[in-house]
Amino acid sequence: MEGASFEDSMERLAKIVSDIEGGSLSLSEMMAQFKEGLKLADSCTKQLQDAELTVKKAVEKNSSVDLEDMEA
């Protein structure tokens, strides 16, 4: 799912988790799903890191907003 949106990747990742937890996959299918899930998780992590960096740069450039005030 190279180039997939964050939302699409998360949706696919949730489906993979559900399929694995469902117990109906063979071991080889489960391992293939697991490997795909790892790739998706890495992609989502990178997208989140990129988004965080973009927000930090925008705040530093355009505002005096303290990022700590935005953390939940």
Which contacts (CB < 8 Å, 24+ apart) does range 10-16 have?
A: 10/40, 10/44, 12/36, 12/40, 13/37, 13/40, 13/41, 13/44, 16/40
Give pLDDT, residue 63. 67
**72 alpha-carbon distance from chain centroid:** 18
pLDDT for 46-68, tens place per residue? 999 999 999 888 888 876 656 66
- What global pTM score does this model have? 0.76
Residue 2 DSSP class: T
Q: Are 37 and 17 in contact (CB under 8 A)?
A: yes
